[in-house]
Amino acid sequence: MPVDHRGAIDAAVAAFNAVGVAAVPAEKRSTADLTVEINGVLLDVDVEVAATVTPDSLAKQLPRWSGTRPQATPASLLVADRIVAAARQVLRENGWGWLDLRGHLHLSGPGVLVDTAVPAAPKVHRPVDLFAGKVALEVACALLLAPERPGSVRQLARDLNRSPSSVSTVVNSLREAQLIDSQGLPVTPDLFWEAAGAWRPASMTIARIALLHDPTISAALHTGWDELETGIGWALTDTMAAAAYGAPAGVRAGYPPDFYVPDTTTAHRAETLLGRPTSVDARGATIRIAPVPQVCTLRYTGPSDGPPWPLTHPLFVALDLATDPGRGREILEGWNPPQGETRVW
């Protein structure tokens, strides 16, 4: 259960004081909730409270909060049990501060800036790093791929070819973080946005994309263009794939595609055979190394009038879009995945 407004103010005072910043609840006659003093600068702060904060929830709440914010209060602080990484970016873009009760404080205002780790609030459990290992991201993706199916440890271990013990550890951590519910189902969109914060595929650019149509080159790079049902291979992602899936994403003619490849060895072989571009503008394509194996095993044929390459699953396209704080998230807001797939963002 999230803290109430009074508890949020007390938590904010404790967080500021823990890092040497003087903070006190504002006087009753004040329109602000909190007053902080940094390097002799006094700043009145309006405090709002929430449980879990995602970009989707902010799209609904920020206009309401901003509409009730006193005009004389120069800064606002959102206090929540969990604020996912993508939501923090949205808050920053809108000039809001935040206190994630798991242990991070950010506040900016006229002449002041605080951005630091703070002690986690009492009774708020914060795992050291939910996605510290590869298994955690694989489990999260497996759950998001089938959000209506309870995540059995044994079944997940079989599907992912991982040991039951390692999968069990991940599932327990996600459950403790309230990202899996009591029935074993993923809590969405919370789990999606937490996974998006850990979605950081390595990438490189290649020059001569036309060579991918050469059967000899294609075979050497294990593209698997004609083995969608049985093989691992390259998969189109990001904006071009989103547009092929019907997302509101415009793609200009000649736009360089973004491909996922299964592993680092394939990526380096592609760089050798297809060459490095002389500049970013001269690139033929960007290739990314799949963060989880499912990216290059779940591939689909696009529309007949779309790009000629297999598409990765909509979930992975969405995770790529989520890492772009600008246009990518705008596309996500207006995109419902194809029929048969559940929107988890």
Contacts of 226 (CB under 8 A, 6+ apart): none
| Domains of the chain, each with CATH number or no CATH | 5-117 (3.40.1350), 134-197 (1.10.10), 203-333 (no CATH)
Distance of alpha carbon 84 from alpha carbon 191, whole angstroms: 9
Render each residue's pLDDT in the chain as its tens digit; 345 residues. Answer: 557 889 999 999 999 999 999 999 987 667 789 999 988 888 889 999 998 898 888 888 898 887 766 555 678 999 998 898 889 989 999 999 999 998 999 998 777 889 999 998 876 554 457 888 899 999 999 999 999 999 899 999 999 999 999 999 999 999 888 899 989 999 999 999 999 989 999 999 999 999 998 999 999 999 999 888 778 999 999 999 999 999 999 888 888 999 999 999 999 999 999 999 999 889 999 999 999 999 999 999 999 888 999 999 999 999 999 988 778 888 998 999 998 899 999
Q: Do the Cβ atoms of 164 and 157 come closer than 8 Å?
A: yes
Q: Which residues of 181-207 are buried (b: 16+ CB within 10 A; e: fewer)?
A: eeeebbbbbbbbbbbbbbbebeebbbb
Report the Cα 207 to chain-centroid distance in Å. 29
Question: Which are the contacts of 327, defined by CB distance < 8 A and separation ≥ 6?
Answer: 239
* Confidence (pLDDT) at 54: 87
Q: What is the pLDDT of residue 70?
A: 57
pLDDT value at residue 71: 59
Instruction: Please tell me the distance from the alpha carbon of residue 20 to that of residue 100, in angstroms, as a whole number.
Output: 18
What residues are paired with 237 via a beta bridge?
258
Task: Give CA–CA dist 322/308, Å, rounded.
Answer: 24
* Residues in CB range of 51: below 8 A, 6 or more apart: 1, 2, 80, 81, 82
Q: Determine the pLDDT at residue 216.
A: 95
